[in-house]
Structure 1
Amino acid sequence: MGESLEDLTEYAMAQGAEGYDVHEVRLCRCAKCGGHVFGVHGDLEEHAAKRICRGCGAEHFIADSGEYWDDTRSGIMVCECDGDGDEEDFNVMVGYSLYADGDGIRAIAITSRCVACGRLGYWDDWMIRSGEMHLLDLA
């Protein structure tokens, strides 16, 4: 269980990304209102995720997800605490595994903390390989 965002940071670091160590973590914040509580939609097969701000409704793709997004295949992130399959509220953090020279992103992992119960969870991870460092700003 996570009592705070610091717990989520530790969890994200410990989980790794595609089997690699996580070197940086970024808390997802809404670019429009600054909020940090989201609903999360994703396509685990395509490794794509989108977060929807609970404060203002703005939608943001995580990392390079917009390139692979298909609304017809996306599902919602839920927490075991609710049990009814409805979409819950989460704090979301993206962990980044960087290449040894620090010159690119190797892989990312998406982790979360349920706002209702504090349960820490893992959503998905995928390889980036192209190293695109601007993706650090697209958590």
Structure 2
Amino acid sequence: MAITEAGGWKIGQNLAEYARAEGAEGYDVHEVRLCRCATCGGQVFGLLGDLEQHAAQRVCRGCGEEHFIADSGDYWDGSQAGIMVCECDGDGDEEDFNIAVGFSLYEGHDGIRALAITSRCVACGQLGYWDDWMIRGGDLHLLNLA
């Protein structure tokens, strides 16, 4: 299903396509990882983040497992963490999302330059862009920590 627009918001099923289209810190996205819980295999999450520290944590709706995205655990203190919400609900409660992380790689694909966290609201299909940041070390192992 293609990405469409409704009421000024992008709507769609293909979160990987959306992540590639949005980019990361102004760079092309070369790799996309759709988030899946390592404990139960779930694909629906709540998302907490600190936009100033560029840190994000997803919480599995199936089992409650918490997971830092990429290198977020190195910068997380939780004191400024906010929850991701969707415009479809309007009450400010935390919603359920599918989450994808897009990675921009250096030429030669020997390191990560930047990443971007994108989401899809389970209730309405709205696609969203949570945050993006440069990766300080470029470590490729972060591809497996989406």
Q: Aligned-pair distance for 1:118? A: 0.2
**1:130 CA drift (Å):** 1.3
Equivalent positions of 1:1-139 (< 5 A) are: 1-2=11-12, 4=13, 7-139=14-146
Residue identity in the other structure for 2:59: I
- Measured in 2, the distance between the counterparts of 1:33 and 1:67 equals 25
The two structures have a TM-score, normalised by structure 2, of 0.92
- Note the alpha carbon deviations across 1:79-109, whole angstroms, 9 max, x for none: 0000000000000000000001110000000
Q: Distance in 2 between matches of 1:110 and 1:71?
A: 18
Give the percent of matched residue pairs that are identical in Structure 1 and Structure 2: 77
The 1-side partners of 2:82 and 2:61 are apart by 17
Residue 129 of structure 1 and its aligned partner are, at CA, apart by 3.6
- What RMSD over aligned residues (CA atoms) do the two structures have, in Å? 0.6
Higher share of residues assigned helix: 1
Residues in 2 aligned to 1:90 and 1:107: alpha-carbon distance in whole angstroms: 22
Give the 3-state SS of the residue equivalent to 2:79 in structure 1. Answer: helix
1:71 partner SS: coil
Q: Matches of 2:44 and 2:121 in 1, distance apart? A: 9
**Deviation readout 1:36-56 (Å, 9 max, x if unpaired):** 100000000000000000000
- Structure 1 stretches of at least 4 aligned residues deviating more than 6 Å after TM superposition: none
Structure 2 alignment gaps of length 5 or more = 1-10
| Pairs aligned (count) | 136
Unaligned runs of 5+ in 1: none
Structure 2: distance between partners of 1:101 and 1:66: 27
Q: Distance in 2 between matches of 1:102 and 1:134?
A: 12
